[in-house]
Structures are given as C-alpha cells and as structure tokens.
Amino acid sequence: MSDTVFRALVVSKTDEKTYTREVTERKISDLPEGEVLVRVRYSSLNYKDGLSCIGNPGVTRNYPHTPGIDASGEVAESSDSRFKEGDSVIVTGYDLGMNTSGGFGQYIRVPADWVIPLPEGMTVKEAAIYGVAGFTAALSVDALQKHGVNPEDGEIVVTGSTGGVGSVSVALLSHLGYNVVASTGKKEEIEFLSGLGASEIISREEVNDESKKPLLRERWAGAVDTVGGTTLASLLKAAKRGGAVAATGLVASSELSTTVFPFILRGVSLLGIDSGFTPTKLRREIWGKLAGFWEFPQLHKLTIDCTLEGLDPEIDKILAGGQRGRVVVDLQ
C-alpha cells in the first residue's frame, strides 16, 4: 500500500512567522514508521491542533505537518498480533498530531501501543466526538469519583464549560447525578449549557478571585478546571473541606499562585489530569465506561460536523476562543 494516495490537511512553514494550511494529497510511504496503519474515518478538532496549525513550538517542531490528535477508524495493516486488518480502533494522545502525522489525514501509522480497540457499543464517530477532550473530561470525573467526591456532597463547578473538555464534563457529571454549575464568559450559551444538564450558569468572574485572600467561603465539593491561573487558585480557595479540583488545562495561564492553606486547613486535593500518556489499562477502562453506563444522551448535540475542506474556518474559530462543543471531521 506504500504508493496509496490519500487526502490530508498539511500545514507548511513559509517563513519564520507564516504558516499556511491546505488539503492536499500524500502517500502512505510519507508516513512515519509504526506497527499499525489505520484508515482514519473520523477525527476531531482540539485547541492543541489549532496551536499546531500556527507553529507553536511546544506542540509541533517540524513542518510540513498534518495535525489531528484524535483518530478513529479501521486497521489497514498491522505487524503486531494484537491487531488485524479491519479491526475498529481509537488512537488519541501520545505524540499523534504533534510531531507524528495525525488524524487530519485519511491514514496514520503509529506504534501499536498507542492503539486501543473500539469498545463494544461505541461507533467510530462517537469515539471522535469524545476524542481527547471527552477522554480528558472522563478522566477528570473518574479522578473525582476515586477521590470520594459524590453527588450528595454538593455542587461541582466546571470552568471553560463551552469548550470540548468543559462541555463533556458538564454533560457527563449531570448524567451521573451531580449538581453541576457551569462557568463561562459566553452569556449567549446559557441555553446550550442548560441543555447539557447544568443546574446553574455563572460568569467566569465568579470563579476568578483576585483579592489575594488565602481562603474563600467554602462552596465547591469538586471542580473540573480547564482555565488555570487565578481561576484554578480561586477554586482551591473555595473548595469544601475534603474537596478536590481536577486540573486539565491552562487556557488563561500556566502559572499558579496560591498558599498551602486550602491543603493544610481544609484537606483540599489538586488532581492533575494527564490524558496524553494515560496507561493502557486505565485508557481502556475509561473508554469502556464511555461506551457503557457513562454514555450521556446529549452526546450528538455537542457536535458540529465538517469535512477536511471545511476545517480551516473552524481552526480559526477555536484559536479565537469561539468554538463550543466538539467539531468532528469526516474523512470518509
């Protein structure tokens, strides 16, 4: 199949500060080495993909490059006995779409350890709707549950709630019986968030305390934070005794300025969520939950569908902070 031609979005560097993107043809022989060749049916758009498209060196170092940190489809070839031609599979995280040619192409070739079987009860499109963002949200919920945060303990706040991780977190937590408060800077998305199951929608300013107080009034039994910076510090200060905050992102800042008081006076826990290199056992466990009793009824309402050719404006939108839910890319 080495001479097989396929379509892919390719980002090229034209000078030190200029990057262009176009849908063009590539050959399978252009792909990196790996045990498993996957025919990609669906991918999805993430903020990290947007960064790869504009030359962020913390994401992608070498160009031309095909982004796409999510991919779901079927095995086309495999030299690893764990996978055979025709198997439906998911590939997310690791180096996919960063410095390894990613899911915005109709084929990827990756190490076998990056690949997991599509769980029973889930379609390849549903896997792409979840993607890295949904998987990260599910890891966050799993971490809160394992910490002992239960629905009866009180409110759970989700920041950046219209984004990929945030919107799935809101829907999933609500589905599991939690009282979810959604924080957003987008007043026009109140109906969207209510439809996902949020019991209350608050402004981002309400979870962004700049008073320098070491502690705030206890409110949150738990939180999923995609924002970082002052917002993350504020959530820690306002967490209930024994509460926990799952930190998944840094949209606002990677800095964290706080005191030890939430930890030593209230026993608050900060749970770091790393979805990129999740061990295979836990990865399969989480995907199995999403295919089973964690599947929520609003899943398909989160989705904007587009083709490779229609992806360009969606990339601009996500970089500008204007995206909501999940953008699923159809590569069939």
Model pLDDT, residue 229: 95
Interval 236-258: pLDDT, tens: 999 999 999 999 988 888 899 99
285/294 Cα distance (integer angstroms): 11
Where do the CATH 3.40.50.720 domains begin and end in the chain? 133-272
Q: What is the pTM of this model?
A: 0.94
Model pLDDT, residue 212: 86
Interval 129-163: pLDDT, tens: 999 999 999 999 999 999 999 999 999 999 999 99
Interval 74-86: pLDDT, tens: 999 999 999 999 9
Strands 36-45, 70-78: pairing is antiparallel
Interval 3-61: pLDDT, tens: 899 999 999 998 878 999 999 999 999 999 999 999 999 999 999 999 999 999 999 99
Model pLDDT, residue 120: 95
303/128 Cα distance (integer angstroms): 10
Question: Helix, strand or coil for residue 224?
Answer: strand
**Hunting for tokens 């995907």 — which residue is that?**
287
Where do the CATH 3.90.180.10 domains begin and end in the chain? 5-118+300-330
133-272 CATH, one of 3.20.20.70, 3.90.600.10, 3.40.50.720, 3.40.50.2300:
3.40.50.720
| Nearest residue to 45 via CA among 19, 12, 9 | 9
Cβ pair 74, 41 in contact under 8 A: yes
Q: What is the CATH number of domain 5-118+300-330?
A: 3.90.180.10
**Is residue 203 predicted with pLDDT exceeding 70?**
yes
**Is residue 301 predicted with pLDDT exceeding 90?**
no
Cβ pair 174, 193 in contact under 8 A: no
- Chain centroid offset of residue 312 CA: 19
**Is residue 298 predicted with pLDDT exceeding 80?**
yes
Residues 6+ apart with CB under 8 A from 3: 27, 28, 29
Model pLDDT, residue 16: 77
As given in the structure block, the two tokens for residue 2 are: 């080495």
Average pLDDT, the chain: 95
As given in the structure block, the two tokens for residue 196 are: 């996902």
**Is residue 2 predicted with pLDDT exceeding 70?**
no
- Chain centroid offset of residue 91 CA: 13
